[in-house]
Amino acid sequence: MSQHAAESPAPATPVSRSFASDNWSGAHPEVIEAIVAANAGHVPAYGGDPWTARFQEVARQHFGADAEAFPVFNGTGANVLALQAALPRWGAVICARTAHINTDEAGAPEKTGGLKLFGVDTPDGKLTPELVAREAWGFGSEHRSQPGAVSISQVTELGTVYTPEEIRDLADQAHELGMVLHVDGSRLANAAAHLGTSLGALTTEVGVDLLSLGGTKNGLLGAEAIVVLRPGAASGITFLRKIDLQLASKMRFISAQLVALYEGDLWQRSAARANALAQHLADGLRSIEASGALPGLRIAQPVESNAVFVELPADVAARAQTAFAFGAWPTQPGLYRLMCAFDTTPDDIDALLGVIAG
């Protein structure tokens, strides 16, 4: 359930590549170049710089003329700040029980944001209107935290992807109940690359109100953003960003990374490459499974992004972990998550498959 737990495998021999997490990868060379280019002269601090202004323009190109973007340091900060700005002090968030905000943010939504989380069990990490309805009740009761937001992860913690139609259904339900729909888009680029859509087609165009826009998992050195997609969906971010320790003084270096990723097609190229390599890995695992040479090997979730969830015999996993770092999924014995990144190579995949096949 916890991504951090999946990123904390048994010690492995140091290697140039890891399958533990796309967070383990370095920064994309084009991003480093953008940071270096921004490191010139003096510009106003706290977002009064040309790079932050340019990122606002880029965000509106992707998400519509009403979009308002707020660069932040990390994904947890983006999620907490977005939801805190959307809800009153008595508000609650409905999410999948496996959601990052529920399993891997050390209680930050509750402790920092002051929010109640209602987690819902799902078979594949994805909420549906029927699942949301299990917790969307008690409106007006002073004895229950008031459901005010639905938060979905795109891509989910189990590597699955919501279609635009599925998101629209959730948005319509949330709005009918007076709630907002928030997307934790730490891997939004991977979802768009998988579906062959624009970023806006998975957010603004299907009724999403708030977006945590990812970057670090797709080649940034350390930069994310909150994007308010519907005017009035959140308030006070300007003040809360400082309170929540997410306001960068030298913001140009945060914004320059986001511009480098989203101004052109780097977001798509990097995500599509990681997705394709995950498919290459899944195809290789299926070949091993079909051969019958390794009983107990089974791909456990649809491979729709850069994540492969596979069941492995314990001795096989232990052997593979001596060569490559990857982690066991903590809620299901025998299940392992293998993550590809923008800089994973086909040779890395083939080497891992060779170790697994024995």
pLDDT band at 82 (very low <50, low <70, confident <90, very high): very high
Q: What is the DSSP letter of 204?
A: G
Q: Are both 209 and 321 inside the same structural domain?
A: no
Residue after which a domain boundary falls, among 240, 265, 290: 265
Which residue would you say has higher pLDDT here, 13 or 159? 159
- pLDDT of 3 over the 70 cut: no
CATH code for position 302: 3.90.1150.10
Classify 220 as helix, strand or coil: coil
Same domain, 297 and 205: no
Q: Of 139, 135, 166, give the one whose Cα is nearest residue 152.
A: 166
Cα separation, 344 vs 22, in Å, equals 9
> Which H helix or E strand runs over 35?
helix 29-38
Looking at the structure, tell me whether residues 48 and 186 fall in a common domain.
yes
**Angle (nearest 5°) at CA 194 between 188 and 195:** 90
Residue 14's domain comprises: 3-26+267-357
> Which residue among 265, 285, 301 closes a domain?
265
The pLDDT score that the predictor gives to residue 16 is: 61
Same-domain pairing of 124 and 169: yes
Instruction: Give the domain-ending residue among 219, 234, 265.
Output: 265
CA 215-308-20 angle, 5° bins: 60
Alpha carbon distance 305, 275 (integer Å): 5
Same domain, 191 and 85: yes
pLDDT at 11 over 50: no
Q: 42 and 21 in one domain?
A: no
Mean pLDDT of the chain: 95
What are the pLDDT digits (tens) for 310-335?
999 999 999 999 999 999 998 899 99
| pTM, to two decimals | 0.94
pLDDT at 2 (0 to 100)? 46
- Closest alpha carbon to 25 in 273, 211, 254: 273
Q: Please indicate, yes or no, whether residues 11 and 34 belong to a single structural domain of this protein.
A: no
CATH of the domain at 228: 3.40.640.10
Least confident of 4-18, 259-273, 311-325: 4-18
3-state secondary structure of 125: coil
207 shares a domain with 310: no
Q: Are 38 and 51 in contact (CB under 8 A)?
A: yes
Instruction: Give Cα 210 to chain centroid, integer Å.
Output: 14
Cβ neighbours of residue 225 closer than 8 Å, sequence gap 6 or more: 55, 59, 69, 70, 71, 72, 78, 212, 213, 215, 258
Q: Are 31 and 219 in contact (CB under 8 A)?
A: yes
Residues 301-311: pLDDT tens digits?
999 999 999 99
β partners of residue 310? 299, 336
Residue carrying the six token digits 């639905």: 150
**Total domain count, the chain:** 2
Give pLDDT tens digits for 83-102.
999 999 999 999 999 999 99
Between 7 and 345, where is the model more confident?
345
201 and 322 share one domain = no
Q: Are residues 122 and 46 in the same domain?
A: yes
Examine the domain organization and report whether 237 and 223 are in the same domain.
Answer: yes
Ranges 14-18, 61-65, 313-317: which has the least confidence: 14-18
Considering the domain architecture, whether residues 46 and 189 belong to the same structural domain is answered as yes
Rounded mean pLDDT of 23-37?
97
Contact 53, 244 (CB under 8 A): no
Q: What is the pLDDT of residue 331?
A: 85
Q: Which helix (H) or strand (E) holds 92?
A: strand 91-96
| pLDDT score of 293 | 87
